Structure 1
Amino acid sequence: MYGPLHGLMMLGLEAQKVVELRLVRIAWGGVEGQAEMASMVTEKISASIEAFGMLMTGGSPDAVVARYREHVAANTERLTAS
């Protein structure tokens, strides 16, 4: 239905919301800000390992982008719930 770049464009747009929410939480500081910085680093590392594994086992780049979008959606939900 959509071209192969659609998922990438949507990921970029959706990720901007997470960046905004995380920056606000970090700017507030305190324990929540520190926890957000720590989770941000660990999430990036685990997501890159997951993406590498998917590609090495024959997964498509589109599948990797779709999985990243799931992670971004989960972060948006978590950060807007508080």
Structure 2
Amino acid sequence: MLFGWWKTGMDMSMLAMEAQGVILQRLTMLSMGGPAAQVEAQRMVTEKVLAAGEAMMMMASGASNQKVIHSYRRKVQANALRLSRR
């Protein structure tokens, strides 16, 4: 049981660090302005609304905290990869 809490805590910490990297990449892009920044701003808002809705549905259907965190981490990691290719 204790190991489960440790893993959840570590995954939450990793999510926080990975999200900070994505925030840095997005702020850098947004500060440059232009059409790409506009598209990214719209994408960011849409993704956040969809991710929150998905998390609510997962929780309502009985998914574990670990599954919700894992789902968010996949999205954050995909954004980090996509933004690093620009």
Q: TM-score when scaled to structure 1? A: 0.95
Tell me what 2:45 maps to: 41
Q: 4+ residue stretches of structure 1 with deviation over 6 A?
A: none
Q: Give the fraction of aligned pairs with identical amino acids, expressed as a percent.
A: 38
Give the CA deviation at 1:13.
Answer: 0.4
Give the one of 5, 8, 12 matched to 2:12.
8
CA distances 1:17-71 after superposition (whole Å, capped 9, x unpaired): 1000000110110000111110110000000000001011110111100100000
- Where structure 1 has 5 or more consecutive residues not aligned to the other structure, the ranges are none
Q: TM-score when scaled to structure 2? A: 0.91
- Where structure 2 has 5 or more consecutive residues not aligned to the other structure, the ranges are none
Equivalence map 1:2-81=2 (5 Å): 3=6, 4-81=8-85
Tell me which amino acid in the other structure corresponds to 2:16: G
Q: What is the alpha-carbon root mean square deviation over aligned residues?
A: 1.1
Q: Which has the larger radius of gyration?
A: 2
Tell me which amino acid in the other structure corresponds to 1:60: S
How many residue pairs get aligned? The number is 82
